[in-house]
């Protein structure tokens, strides 16, 4: 089996951290680089958190580069209320063993795309600011991108506003560029990720499985409680990990090709992924949209892989 070559652009973030860990625990994925963006918290924190997570699982060999510290055209709004000021509320704060690479996220992605023989998959689990840079600033190497898989958007309800999901809402202008890029794109939105939740019991299962499992359990202690208190849900959606799970096992998430456009104009629906589920516009499909997930198999895969990390 040839491992799929992946660059993960993220804003850790509890679920981003778990996505990094799942990728590193999975032989189906070769994680070539991690790039960071401002989103859940500031760029300084998201970068530090990516470095911390890679340290924890003994993968300080994976390069990390910091990208954009704010959306393309707007001020940054964070989700610190959900993830804590540091972005990873729960576990004890530990300083990373290294700093980020001495190049930007865009430069690192360019380096990877140019140097790999196989086309590379870009996975984005934060606002799409860095990925929009790839689209606008590296047009001559788009062919090196196998596909882009994002966590973001929703066909139906939003989570940050009634109409919009957080990652798209933070930088709708970047999302518009990515969705109109013509590069194969899969959107794992809230229809899918709101089914992909873990509970306190899962935290307990992981707590005994070594330091990485304990770390995830400590993340879940905070993240599950937040979702129980805020939404009354039994657990916390591990949104971002679904992108990686989808690459590991494409039968987990059911997708449908459709036209999706990003609202960057209105106020009430700013950042909405306007998904033409029933083809009423006649516009061509530009996105494979996730509509459902086999939750039990997702949970089994995620827990199995995480508990193998030593
Ligand atoms: C997305 O927003 C962030 O808070 C999470 O990390 C995830 O990427 C879910 O809407
Ligand atoms: Ca995220």
Q: Do 191 and 292 meet the contact criterion of CB atoms below 8 Å apart?
A: yes
pLDDT digits (tens, 9 = 90+) for 10-67: 999 999 999 999 999 999 999 999 999 999 999 999 999 999 999 999 999 999 999 9
- Going from the Cα of 40 to the center of ligand 2, the distance in angstroms, rounded, reads 7
**Residue 286 banded pLDDT, cuts 50, 70, 90:** very high
Average confidence score pLDDT of the chain: 97
Return d(Cα 306, Cα 209) in angstroms, integer: 9
pLDDT digits (tens, 9 = 90+) for 149-194: 999 999 999 999 999 999 999 999 999 999 999 999 999 999 999 9
Q: Do 235 and 201 meet the contact criterion of CB atoms below 8 Å apart?
A: no
Please state the pTM of the whole predicted model.
0.98
**230 phi, psi to nearest 5 deg:** -80, -40
Burial code of 123-135, b = ≥16 C-beta within 10 A, e = fewer? Answer: bbbbbbbbbbbbb
Q: Do 266 and 274 meet the contact criterion of CB atoms below 8 Å apart?
A: no
CATH number at residue 216: 3.90.245.10
Q: Do 8 and 130 meet the contact criterion of CB atoms below 8 Å apart?
A: no
Number of domains in the chain: 1
pLDDT at 115 (0 to 100): 98
pLDDT digits (tens, 9 = 90+) for 186-241: 999 999 999 999 999 999 999 989 999 999 999 999 999 999 999 999 999 999 99
**Residue 1 banded pLDDT, cuts 50, 70, 90:** confident
- Going from the Cα of 39 to the center of ligand 1, the distance in angstroms, rounded, reads 9
Considering only CA atoms, which of 86, 18, 87 is closest in space to residue 53? Answer: 18
Return d(Cα 251, Cα 226) in angstroms, integer: 30
Q: Do 80 and 7 meet the contact criterion of CB atoms below 8 Å apart?
A: no
Q: Give 9's strand partners.
A: 35, 124
Q: Give the mean model confidence (pLDDT) for residues 270-283.
A: 98
190, 239, 241, 271: which to mutate for ligand 1, most atoms within 8 A of CB? 239
Return d(Cα 68, Cα 309) in angstroms, integer: 30
User: Quick one: how far is CA 45 from the chain centroid?
Assistant: 16
Q: Which domain holds residue 38?
A: 4-308
Return d(Cα 130, Cα 105) in angstroms, integer: 7
- Going from the Cα of 281 to the center of ligand 2, the distance in angstroms, rounded, reads 31
Sign, Cα dihedral of 222, 225, 230, 234:
positive
Catalytic residue among 45, 83, 227, 239: 239
Query: Does residue 281 carry a pLDDT above 80?
Result: yes
Query: Does residue 310 carry a pLDDT above 80?
Result: no
Length of the chain: 310
In this structure, the number of other CB atoms found within 10 A of the CB of residue 37 comes to 32
Q: Is 255 helix (H, G, I), strand (E, B) or coil?
A: strand
pLDDT at 71 (0 to 100): 98
Q: Give the mean model confidence (pLDDT) for residues 277-304.
A: 98
151, 162, 175, 238: which to mutate for ligand 1, most atoms within 8 A of CB? 151
Report the percent of the chain where pLDDT is more than 70: 100
Return d(Cα 195, Cα 247) in angstroms, integer: 18
> Known catalytic residue: 239?
yes
Q: Which helix (H) or strand (E) holds 204?
A: helix 200-207
The two structure tokens encoding residue 216: 């995830």
The two structure tokens encoding residue 74: 């707007």
pLDDT at 32 (0 to 100): 98
């Amino acid at each position: 089996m040839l491992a799929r070559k992946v660059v993960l652009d993220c804003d850790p973030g509890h679920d981003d951290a778990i996505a990094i860990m799942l990728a590193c625990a999975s032989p189906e994925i070769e994680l070539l680089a991690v790039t960071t963006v401002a989103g859940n918290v500031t760029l300084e924190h998201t970068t530090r958190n990516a470095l911390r997570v890679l340290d924890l699982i003994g993968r300080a060999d994976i390069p990390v580069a910091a990208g954009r510290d704010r959306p393309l055209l707007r001020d940054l709004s964070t989700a610190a209320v959900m993830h804590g000021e540091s972005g990873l509320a729960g576990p004890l704060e530990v300083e990373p063993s290294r700093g980020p690479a001495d190049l930007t996220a865009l430069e690192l992605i360019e380096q990877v795309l140019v140097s790999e023989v196989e086309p590379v998959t870009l996975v984005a689990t934060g606002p799409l600011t860095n990925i929009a840079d790839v689209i606008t600033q590296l047009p001559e190497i788009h062919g090196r991108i196998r596909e882009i898989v994002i966590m973001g958007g929703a066909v139906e309800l939003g989570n940050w506003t009634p109409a919009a999901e957080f990652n798209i809402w933070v930088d709708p202008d970047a999302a518009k560029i990515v969705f109109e890029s013509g590069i194969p794109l899969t959107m794992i939105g809230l229809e899918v990720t709101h089914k992909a939740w873990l509970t306190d019991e899962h935290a307990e299962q992981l707590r005994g499985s070594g330091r990485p499992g304990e770390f995830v359990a400590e993340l879940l202690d905070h993240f599950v409680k937040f979702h129980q208190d805020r939404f009354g849900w039994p657990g916390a959606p591990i949104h971002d990990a679904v992108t990686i799970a989808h690459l590991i096992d494409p039968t987990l998430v059911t997708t449908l090709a459709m036209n999706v456009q990003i609202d960057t104009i209105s106020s009430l629906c700013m950042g909405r992924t306007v998904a033409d589920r029933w083809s009423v516009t006649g516009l061509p499909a530009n996105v494979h949209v996730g509509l459902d997930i086999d939750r039990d198999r997702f949970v089994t895969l995620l827990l199995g892989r995480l508990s193998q990390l030593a």
